[in-house]
């Protein structure tokens, strides 16, 4: 018989670990964690579960079924809890609040993870390198650095990735989608993080990180760190194929494509591929006919800023006096000075 505590919200207590529950069947399910019994097996991958509900949820990873749909944006989810969390992105509701700093979160799991930053608690440890993490999912992702497992495959080019987020970011290079729009200027972004940075930088003007040497301010600590290398000359990112070094990791990544020949940025209209996203952006203007760079002196427009700059030099050259006329002016001045 389950041990019953004093009247309250969780009257049923486990006699092995002292954890309490509001329902007897919750306690019954919990006790299976002590016995290790997992009676419900998946017939597709042999993974086992404590509860039938967990098995049903798991099977959706094989079928791709997403029966829970948001009524505001039609986005679908495989679990009701995921839909419930998603709805808070529309309402702005953050019901889970940290008792130490007052910061609020949409999900209980995010609050739990945040609370570990106050305690410096990292309970999930890698058994290969002893590195510790705040979340079990972070440990799971980290282990792939040892196994080199890449379970996430691109639907467009078959390239594989260790992390689902990297796959998501990569696939945007094929689709060109920008699902995150700024509500102040309607500019679109590929990632939520990029939108957040845009708002802070452009609209809020927040730049809390200052360079101690020149006083220049930045809205991200990472940008300040990159800027400081312009003072120190540090280039910590080295190419293993030609020993060339770079001050930014992104510049090294682009450079390596010269060796590999990789061109991950593909035009959706003609299929032409590029090694750099900026080159794809320039190329797309050949399809749209867009010429956003206009000369202030004659009104002529160009697709690229470099072409405008080159054109502006033609105006500067026209305004300069020619070499023969300059020589004549100097000679005439000498004659006048001799006469007078």
Segment 304-325, tens digit of pLDDT: 888 888 888 888 777 655 545 5
Segment 133-150 shows an average pLDDT of: 84
Contacts for 270 with CB less than 8 Å, ≥ 6 apart: 287
Tens-digit pLDDT profile for residues 183-193 = 888 788 877 88
Contact of 49 with 55, CB cutoff 8 Å = yes
Contacts for 249 with CB less than 8 Å, ≥ 6 apart: 237
- Name the helix (H) or strand (E) containing 124: strand 124-125
Percentage of the chain surpassing pLDDT 70?
91
Q: pLDDT value at position 120?
A: 77
Contacts for 52 with CB less than 8 Å, ≥ 6 apart: 40
Of the ranges 143-152, 311-320, 327-336, which one carries the lowest mean pLDDT score? 327-336
Q: In the chain, what is the greatest distance between 2 CA atoms, to the nearest angstrom?
A: 126
- 312: which 2 tokens? 């502006």
Greatest mean pLDDT among 95-104, 162-171, 278-287: 95-104
The CA-CA-CA angle for residues 178, 266, 170, to 5°, reads: 55
Contact of 134 with 113, CB cutoff 8 Å = yes
Return the closest-CA partner of residue 287 out of 268, 264, 311, 273.
Answer: 268
Q: How many residues does the chain have?
A: 340
Phi, psi of 237 (to 5 degrees): -105, 110
Q: pLDDT value at position 334?
A: 63
Alpha-carbon span 157 to 177, nearest angstrom: 17
1: pLDDT confidence band, cut at 50, 70 and 90? very low
Tens-digit pLDDT profile for residues 71-83 = 988 888 888 888 8
Of the ranges 41-50, 162-171, 313-322, 327-336, which one carries the lowest mean pLDDT score? 327-336
Distances (CA, A) of 325 to 197, 317, 320, 332, 335: 55, 14, 11, 11, 15
Alpha-carbon span 42 to 49, nearest angstrom: 8
Q: pLDDT value at position 6?
A: 44
pTM exceeds cut of 0.75: no
Whether residue 335 is predicted with pLDDT greater than 60 in this model: the reply is no
């Amino acid at each position: 018989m389950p041990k019953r505590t004093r009247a309250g919200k969780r009257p049923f207590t486990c006699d092995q670990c002292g954890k309490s529950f509001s329902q007897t069947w919750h306690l019954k399910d919990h006790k299976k964690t002590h016995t290790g019994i997992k009676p419900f097996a998946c017939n597709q991958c042999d993974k086992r579960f404590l509860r039938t509900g967990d098995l049903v949820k798991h099977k959706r990873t094989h079928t791709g079924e997403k029966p829970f749909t948001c009524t505001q944006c039609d986005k679908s989810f495989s679990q009701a809890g995921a839909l419930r969390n998603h709805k808070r992105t529309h309402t702005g509701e953050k019901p889970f609040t940290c008792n130490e700093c007052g910061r609020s979160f949409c999900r209980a799991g995010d609050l739990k993870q945040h609370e570990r930053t106050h305690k410096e608690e990292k309970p999930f440890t890698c058994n290969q390198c002893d590195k510790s993490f705040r979340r079990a999912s972070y440990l799971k992702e980290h282990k792939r650095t040892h196994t080199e497992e890449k379970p996430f495959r691109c639907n467009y080019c078959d390239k594989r990735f260790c992390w689902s987020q990297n796959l998501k970011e990569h696939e945007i290079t094929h689709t060109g989608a920008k699902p995150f729009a700024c509500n102040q200027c309607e500019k679109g972004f590929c990632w939520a993080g990029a939108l957040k940075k845009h708002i802070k930088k452009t609209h809020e003007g927040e730049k809390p990180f200052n360079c101690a040497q020149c006083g220049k301010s930045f809205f991200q600590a990472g940008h300040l760190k990159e800027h400081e290398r312009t003072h120190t000359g540090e280039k910590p990112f080295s190419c293993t194929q030609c020993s060339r070094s770079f001050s930014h990791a992104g510049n090294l990544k682009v450079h390596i494509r010269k060796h590999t020949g990789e061109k991950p940025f593909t035009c959706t209209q003609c299929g032409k591929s590029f090694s750099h996203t900026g080159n794809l952006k320039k190329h797309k203007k050949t399809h749209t006919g867009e010429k956003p760079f206009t000369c202030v002196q004659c009104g002529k427009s160009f697709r690229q800023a470099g072409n405008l700059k080159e054109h502006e030099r033609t105006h500067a050259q026209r305004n300069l006096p020619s070499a023969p006329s300059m020589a004549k002016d100097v000679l005439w001045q000498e004659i006048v000075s001799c006469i007078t």
